[in-house]
Chain A
Amino acid sequence: MSKTLQKASLFFLNSYTKPQTLALTPAPDKPKKARELNAVDRLFREHWRDVCRVLHACYGSGPPEPEDVAQEAFSRFAQLRNLEKIDDPKAYIIKIAMNITLKSISRLCKTRAFIDEHIQHTQEQCDEMSPETILQAEQRIAAIQKGTEQLSEKQREILMRARIKGQTYTQISTDTGWSVADICRQLNAAMALLESIDEQANNTCHQMPATDASSSNFSSEQK
């Protein structure tokens, strides 16, 4: 970097653009794009405060700051294609924001990196959400959703604190008064129920219309 550049008021030396940058981005459908950007802008004005408030209440004041996370979540949302296919944009933005925040919790990142290192992921398990991955995983999400509705209040509370709030068992114990051993048991039971429902849904999908008797093996073992 030359000294001249330090003193320059404002200029650019390099206007080179990577060839693949241009090639990768086809000319957008402008009216549709403009409509979508307007819709995102409206969502931003309507839900910005709410998203920040939710993040603040669940994860504290940071770092990362809830406002920064919300900004990032809205930005990522705006970059998605086929926005009109998303039924509840606010819920979707909150999901993106939750994932961004959880990715900034060092302990969880280390665990995730450790697991990633030793198992091979399928595409549908990808953490980065897009309409494509959401649609692919729609059935699984519906099954897990159904499963969470069948959990007891206590199991759901523990599961969400561990998975969504990213709390350790000790932190959950401090906040709720339940013992670590009990938390451990409840979480295992909750996961077993979710897995059994996920498995049932998966078997139903692959073997329709015949019902596979073995699909209920795991759930019956839990009883």
Chain B
Amino acid sequence: MTDPKNAANATALNSNHNTELPASSAKVQAIEWLTYLYSGDISSKKREEFLIWLNSSEENKTAFKRSHEVWQTIGMTDSAVQWIQQHTVAQAETVKPTKSKGVFAKSLLVFGAMAASVALLVFNGVFNTTTHLEIPQPLTAFTSPVGQNRTITLSDGTDVTLAGNSSILVAFNQNERRVTLRKGSAYFDVTHDPSRVFSVSAQQTEVRVRGTAFEVKYSANNNLKISVERGLVDVADLPESPDQEEQVLQLSPNEQLRTDIQGRFISAITIFQPETEFSWLNQRLVYDDVPLKNVIMDINRYAKKPVVILDDSINELPITASFTFEQIEPMLEGLAAAYPIALTHEANRSVLTHK
């Protein structure tokens, strides 16, 4: 077995005969399929082979279910916690500064590096047939603090407004403009450039435009919400492996789409009210029948102390409200007065529970 695929191959190739094999073989195969599926290197063809194997006998199904249960249970053991704590200590030790080398040794390293660079440049010049030297662009991170929006103008003239406690990574080059939304919410007013696509990716979703205005936002349960104000936007469900085809939906102005952590489209395209959706750009939060958990998620981008809901029964409470960033505290007090909600102020956070 040289790679995970081959490991699975060894058993999957015999899947036609599985019903004839003793249960122990089913167990061994189940383990190999399980570790293959979690290996990070799987193809759709192998998935189909797995399903054939799984459905070929009840023994296979039972064995695989059991292997998966064992796999899941590992995460609940104290061994897992001990390992993660040891891992933390080990990592801390590896980043400790090492003993400084002598000046001579340092000089040798510098000269060595310079010589290697020159050799690489010569090699590139002589043997490489590319027409231009590509210098990888460093990623630039932009973040906004809790409590306020932040507006940035990127090198192509695109304006980005980050909601509070949000973060993006930017990588521009001659051929493309790539942005990654790391957390929170960002509104993009993109400068038109027909030669370079502007793309925003988050998890397994990618939004591509050439010049337009739109927002990409993390919402509850790691879902994403894409809202277009102007122009046309392509939203792509990025494929897991190269042999899969990506799905793309096009959004027009005032259209909105939701995707899940896997990039799947979890809602139909809907129409939204821009004055409500983009109210945060004007330091205001506006909600019309929105679940409390979503409201609190937004509030936590601006609140001085984090607000947590400690009662599942109020998560979905429909809230209709309008308030500025400065009115978050009185708004929370108002919530407690108008709804069956108790608000408790603790040292580090504010807590909402069912009254």
Q: How far is the CA of A169 from the CA of B36 in the complex (A)?
A: 9
B76 with A141: CB separation less than 8 A: yes
Please give the distance in Å from A82's CB to the nearest CB on chain B.
15
Does B261 sit at the interface, judged by CB under 8 A?
Answer: yes
CB contacts between A and B, total, < 8 Å: 266
A218 with B323: CB separation less than 8 A: no
B51 with A57: CB separation less than 8 A: no
Within 8 A of B (CB), among A22-73: 22, 24-25, 37, 41, 44-45, 48, 53-54, 57-58, 62-65, 68, 71
B84 with A5: CB separation less than 8 A: no
Does A18 sit at the interface, judged by CB under 8 A?
Answer: yes
* Residues of the A chain whose Cβ atoms lie less than 8 Å from the Cβ of B310: 37, 75, 78-79
Q: How far is the CA of A102 from the CA of B1 in the complex (A)?
A: 28
Within 8 A of B (CB), among A167-186: 167-171, 180-181, 184-185
Q: Knowing A159-B74, A181-B2, say if A10 contacts B331 (CB, 8 Å).
A: yes
Q: Knowing A58-B88, A164-B83, say if A148 contacts B77 (CB, 8 Å).
A: yes
A107 with B240: CB separation less than 8 A: yes
Q: How far is the CA of A3 from the CA of B321 in the complex (A)?
A: 13
Within 8 A of B (CB), among A94-145: 94-95, 98-99, 102-104, 106-111, 113-115, 118-122, 124-125, 127, 129, 134, 137, 140-141, 144-145
Q: Knowing A75-B308, A191-B35, say if A1 contacts B275 (CB, 8 Å).
A: yes
B313 with A191: CB separation less than 8 A: no
Q: CB-CB contacts of B40-84 with A at 8 A, as 1s and 0s?
A: 111000010001001000000100111111111111111111011
A182 nearest in chain B by CB position: B1
A180 with B65: CB separation less than 8 A: no
Please give the distance in Å from B94's CB to the nearest CB on chain A.
10
User: Which single member of A79, A119, A157 contacts B312 (CB below 8 Å)?
Assistant: A79
Q: Which of A79, A104, A140, A144 has the most CB of B within 10 A?
A: A144
A57 with B81: CB separation less than 8 A: no
Does B176 sit at the interface, judged by CB under 8 A?
Answer: no
Please give the distance in Å from A9's CB to the nearest CB on chain B.
7
B276 with A57: CB separation less than 8 A: no
A56 nearest in chain B by CB position: B88
Q: How far is the CA of A15 from the CA of B80 in the complex (A)?
A: 45
Within 8 A of A (CB), among B1-60: 1-4, 6-7, 24, 27-28, 31-32, 34-35, 37-42, 47, 51, 54
Does B281 sit at the interface, judged by CB under 8 A?
Answer: no
* Residues of the B chain whose Cβ atoms lie less than 8 Å from the Cβ of A71: 306, 308
B7 with A45: CB separation less than 8 A: no
Does A221 sit at the interface, judged by CB under 8 A?
Answer: yes
User: Which single member of A10, A110, A187 contacts B321 (CB below 8 Å)?
Assistant: A10
A145 with B79: CB separation less than 8 A: yes
Does B151 sit at the interface, judged by CB under 8 A?
Answer: no
Number of interface residues of B (CB under 8 A): 98
B3 with A108: CB separation less than 8 A: no
* Residues of the A chain whose Cβ atoms lie less than 8 Å from the Cβ of B84: 54, 58, 94, 98, 160, 164-165
Known: A79-B310, A144-B77. 16 other contacts (CB 8 A): A5-B286, A10-B322, A10-B334, A13-B321, A16-B318, A17-B317, A98-B84, A119-B61, A120-B65, A134-B76, A144-B70, A145-B77, A169-B39, A181-B6, A184-B1, A191-B31
29 example contacts (A-B, Cβ-Cβ < 8 A) are as follows A3-B275, A10-B330, A10-B334, A13-B320, A21-B314, A21-B354, A25-B313, A53-B88, A58-B87, A62-B183, A64-B222, A78-B310, A106-B203, A115-B37, A120-B65, A129-B76, A134-B76, A145-B78, A156-B79, A160-B87, A163-B71, A164-B75, A164-B83, A181-B6, A184-B39, A191-B67, A191-B71, A218-B24, A218-B27
Query: Which residue numbers of B lie inside 8 Å of A, CB to CB?
Result: 1-4, 6-7, 24, 27-28, 31-32, 34-35, 37-42, 47, 51, 54, 61, 64-81, 83-85, 87-88, 91-92, 182-183, 203-204, 218, 222, 240, 261-263, 273, 275-276, 279, 284, 286, 288-289, 306, 308-314, 316-324, 327, 330-331, 334-335, 338-340, 344, 346-349, 351, 354
